[in-house]
Structure 1
Amino acid sequence: MAGGGEKGEGSSASSSSSSSAKTSGKAVESVWRGSFGSEVSEESTSSGGGGGGAAGRRGGDGRWAAAAGGLSKFRLVKKVGSGDIGTVYLAEVAGCDWRFAVKVMDKRALEGRKKLLRAQTEREILKSLDHPFLPTLFSHFDTESFSCLVMEFCPGGDLHALRQRQPHKHFSEPAAKFYVAEVLLALEYLHMLGIVYRDLKPENVLVREDGHIMLSDFDLSLRCHVSPTLVRAASLSTSAAVSGSCAATCFLSKNTKNTKKKKKKKKGSEREEAALLELVAEPTGARSMSFVGTHEYLAPEIVRGEGHGSAVDWWTLGIFLYELLFGRTPFKGAGNRATLFNVVGQPLKFPAAEASVAARDLIRGLLAKEPGHRLGGKRGAAEIKQHPFFHGVNWALIRCATPPEIPPPPALPPPPRAAGARGDDGYLDFEFF
């Protein structure tokens, strides 16, 4: 969890659902995982100083100052989620109106379960992120026994809970397109940093107070080498325009042929050739033998145990889109074994529910069982964004688009004074998982 909550609750970590168990086998690579836990700390560090990624977002944001100074200044309002290696609380800071999600990790417990590396490496990943659809790590605190991460709180809960509240328990196609487009940009950025996410599912996609999404929970992520390159676009109808610091997210939709002709007249053949270049930042060389993920979202190559790379993220994107549109995943069986069998051997089928030809075609491309034939497997997000399903999406200005739904302000009455779970001041004490 990077700040999200249990199904139906808001926060800024994701929670592991009991119905979608995570499995982690023996890894033959350096696996970078996520975290949770519980307790206080004297040693505090502002996250922007270590990884450099978050430092660019500090200007004018009072949350950085509010989160610094130590865990003792935080008041735990309520528990909003728990996962495999920790617990997430909604926390307030005395003297200001800021709310945070605080993920608490018990180092001894993690060490005993051989999961301490997951907590350590998730923190490093979070420190490196600077993207509108990924978490901001405002601060982290450590003691000899405990580690805490202070992140932004997402009051809108997760997309699983939001989907359950929709008519017929699935999203309209325009809404699904909006959420999938933002997730695609988040995955593109992660791949550009050499991070294979490996755990996309609606429970791990949180909704901010403005209705935009935030990907969370990096406990199964894999770090690897990546070499971003500019290549000639495969299609004359689309290409990627890269602009300054927005290189990872602001890939503009292609101009029309008429516009291109005008450019050719104005700037000549060199300008036209440059416009046909696209940035490919796909860690195609990543390889892992780990058996990790949520059963209904596992890619066939993971199930077969033949090793996997970054293409698993595009498989999960296809499952994700399918679930948003149809309210269920395509290969779910009566149990985990049946689900895994279906993932490998069952052909993709669509329900009778309405969905456009473009949506079904995109899902087919993403759910190719052979990673070499999978859409995005070679050129990553640059290839997927050109699909007709995303026609009309302004990738450069998607942050300014109106979300399908704006979550209402969370109802957070003052915590009652009660014995037991709460401290003398009426606020929560740490719980252990």
Structure 2
Amino acid sequence: MGLKIEYLLTKQQCVLYKLGHITEVESAVLMKDPKQHLVVPILDLQRLTVVSALGRGATGVVFLVVNEESSESLALKVILRDSIEKKRNGNDDQYKRVWFEQQALMCVKHPLLPRLRGVLSTDKVVGYAIDYCPGQDLNSLRNKQTERMFSDHLIRFYAAEMVLALEYLHNLGIAYRDLKPENIMIQDNGHIMLVDFDLSTKLTPKTPKASPPPTTTTLTKPDKTKRRRSLLQRCCDSGISPEESVVAVTKPESCGNSNSFVGTEEYVAPEMILGIGHDFSIDWWSLGIVLYEMLYGVTPFKGTNRKNTFYRVLTEPARLVGEATLLRDLISKLLEKDPVKRIGVEKIKGHDFFRGIDWDLVLTISRPPYIPSQLLDHGSEGKGGIKEIDVELFVQRIFQTTVECGKNQVDDEDTTNEYNGDKNVNKGVWVNGLDNNPCQTNIFSVF
């Protein structure tokens, strides 16, 4: 057991392992990706000290753990094996998302993005780990500010890092699609880290080739010739009158866009709600929402329910209350409802709000505005954490209860944009223990 053996897994073996079908692998075995020259440790659940449950997302529970061999703190996402296999057999996309997230973690190499620090597999669960961020998320940091709002200079720093992280992902052909404060973590060095790639997707970057003229979808004139009813028509059937809206949205170019309907409702862009296809500009809309929330403490289009929120996204302008400033001007350009007219990365970086920023030096800042405490809070459990709790049972009980109450679901990769009433879209809840109520809505989710 003390001897470390290194395996060079074939492509087929890697696929089987990541899908959770290879279980007889010792913790000392390393998995290597020949293309990326990565060596990813295989973690042993029995050699991890569980400090606390950090939170949960749509697919799994995230634990703060300490690797007994290296003494490193890690954020470990644990997913039920049955949920992946059942979804896979049912032609659902959840297992694809788990697969894509691991692939994304293996290919990204950027100081503002997570590293894959290890994978694990048992008969009941699969999981993977990234570096733990002791500063928690951007919402947690916002709640520590005066009146729970950031100053312009703080927003400038974190906005610049978000721009750099998204630009890097877009250059890899990855649309992030779930930018929100809960997914923007604060690392131990004070810089941000974008986490949670299970709603991300691979798109073909736009090329300078000539393309057909873009078509325009107008909310007041839905295309009745389509075989499938659009999401807008279903909204209208639910009480939203098309006569109340005059917003026109230009359909993105057909090259390299997606028709998926995913995300968190307060951050979802108009083109995703309309189901006309979306490209990388969807992330710039979400950036505008995040900056608005950092400035005002609330999101701009939150309604009384999901349907009302979507209606406001489609029809109402963002109310930028206060004197005209460079930040408000940038936010207005990011929250342009027409994705073709929305500001892109080059104009974002060249905007006067970022005047004076040397983009090549942002990541080298040694003293960011906020440096979190380096001490782990083990709570009442002490240094030993809560290792006596059965992680497999913990996750199983939470997700079985979730299924029973029918809450906390994430919309599937649905090209028909099936409108499911007031179903939550990727809502996270706190994990307070085995008896927590997963039906409770909360803004915290990681991974």
Instruction: Answer whether TM exceeds 0.5 for this pair.
Output: yes
CA contact 1:46–1:139 (8 Å) conserved in 2: no
Distance 1:50 1:92, change over 3 A: farther
> Which letter does structure 2 place at the counterpart of 1:172?
S
Q: Which of 373, 377, 380 pairs up with 2:341? A: 373
How far apart are the structure 2 equivalents of 1:408 and 1:120? Answer: 33
CA contact 1:51–1:124 (8 Å) conserved in 2: no
Q: What are the equivalent positions in structure 2 for 1:322-341 lying under 5 Å apart?
A: 322-341=292-311
In the other structure, the counterpart of 1:89 is 63
Q: Percent identity?
A: 38
Following superposition, the deviation at residue 416 of structure 1 comes to 3.3
Q: Which of 202, 206, 210 pairs up with 1:223? A: 202
Q: What are the equivalent positions in structure 2 for 1:272-287 lying under 5 Å apart?
A: 285-287=255-257
In the other structure, the counterpart of 1:42 is 25
Distance 1:106 1:36, change over 3 A: farther
Q: What are the equivalent positions in structure 2 for 1:23-422 lying under 5 Å apart?
A: 42=25, 46=30, 49=33, 52=36, 55=38, 70-113=44-87, 114=92, 115-226=94-205, 285-352=255-322, 357-376=325-344, 381-401=345-365, 402-413=367-378, 416=381, 422=386
How far apart are the structure 2 equivalents of 1:164 and 1:221? Answer: 27
> What does the per-residue CA deviation read over 1:58-77, in whole Å, with 9 as the maximum and x for residues that have no partner?
9xxxxx7xx55644322212
CA contact 1:76–1:91 (8 Å) conserved in 2: yes
> Which letter does structure 2 place at the counterpart of 1:42?
V
How far apart are the structure 2 equivalents of 1:96 and 1:140? Answer: 15
How far apart are the structure 1 equivalents of 2:140 and 2:121? Answer: 32
How far apart are the structure 1 equivalents of 2:145 and 2:113? Answer: 25
CA contact 1:47–1:138 (8 Å) conserved in 2: no
Unaligned runs of 5+ in 1: 1-34, 59-63, 230-282
How far apart are the structure 1 equivalents of 2:349 and 2:24? Answer: 44
In the other structure, the counterpart of 1:429 is 391
> What does the per-residue CA deviation read over 1:11-50, in whole Å, with 9 as the maximum and x for residues that have no partner?
xxxxxxxxxxxxxxxxxxxxxxxx999xx87366757635
> Which letter does structure 2 place at the counterpart of 1:317?
L
How far apart are the structure 2 equivalents of 1:47 and 1:92? Answer: 20
How far apart are the structure 2 equivalents of 1:429 and 1:145? Answer: 10
Give the length in aligned residue pairs.
327
Distance 1:142 1:400, change over 3 A: same
Distance 1:168 1:107, change over 3 A: same
CA contact 2:206–2:256 (8 Å) conserved in 1: no
CA contact 1:358–1:389 (8 Å) conserved in 2: yes
The TM-score, its normalising length taken from structure 2, stands at 0.67
- Secondary structure at the counterpart of residue 332 of structure 1: coil
> Which letter does structure 1 place at the counterpart of 2:33?
G
CA contact 2:259–2:278 (8 Å) conserved in 1: yes
CA contact 2:51–2:378 (8 Å) conserved in 1: no
> What does the per-residue CA deviation read over 1:368-415, in whole Å, with 9 as the maximum and x for residues that have no partner?
111110001xxxx22310111111212111122231111123443476
> Which letter does structure 1 place at the counterpart of 2:372?
P
Distance 1:303 1:95, change over 3 A: closer
CA contact 2:19–2:95 (8 Å) conserved in 1: no
- Secondary structure at the counterpart of residue 327 of structure 2: helix
Distance 1:318 1:427, change over 3 A: same
Following superposition, the deviation at residue 287 of structure 1 comes to 1.6
The TM-score, its normalising length taken from structure 1, stands at 0.69
Distance 1:206 1:193, change over 3 A: same
> Which letter does structure 1 place at the counterpart of 2:199?
L
Distance 1:164 1:36, change over 3 A: farther
- Secondary structure at the counterpart of residue 373 of structure 1: coil
Unaligned runs of 5+ in 2: 1-17, 209-252, 400-447
How far apart are the structure 1 equivalents of 2:169 and 2:154? Answer: 23
- Secondary structure at the counterpart of residue 189 of structure 1: helix
> Which letter does structure 1 place at the counterpart of 2:270?
P
Q: CA RMSD in A?
A: 3.1
Following superposition, the deviation at residue 228 of structure 1 comes to 7.7
- Secondary structure at the counterpart of residue 299 of structure 2: coil
Distance 1:416 1:360, change over 3 A: closer
- Secondary structure at the counterpart of residue 371 of structure 1: coil
> Which runs of structure 1 show a deviation greater than 6 angstroms over 4 or more consecutive aligned residues?
none
CA contact 1:169–1:327 (8 Å) conserved in 2: yes
> Which letter does structure 2 place at the counterpart of 1:128?
C
How far apart are the structure 2 equivalents of 1:190 and 1:201? Answer: 16
How far apart are the structure 2 equivalents of 1:170 and 1:120? Answer: 37
How far apart are the structure 1 equivalents of 2:56 and 2:34? Answer: 26
How far apart are the structure 1 equivalents of 2:99 and 2:197? Answer: 11
Following superposition, the deviation at residue 227 of structure 1 comes to 6.4
Distance 1:139 1:96, change over 3 A: closer
> What does the per-residue CA deviation read over 1:283-340, in whole Å, with 9 as the maximum and x for residues that have no partner?
9832211211111111111111211111101111111111111111111112211111
Distance 1:364 1:51, change over 3 A: farther
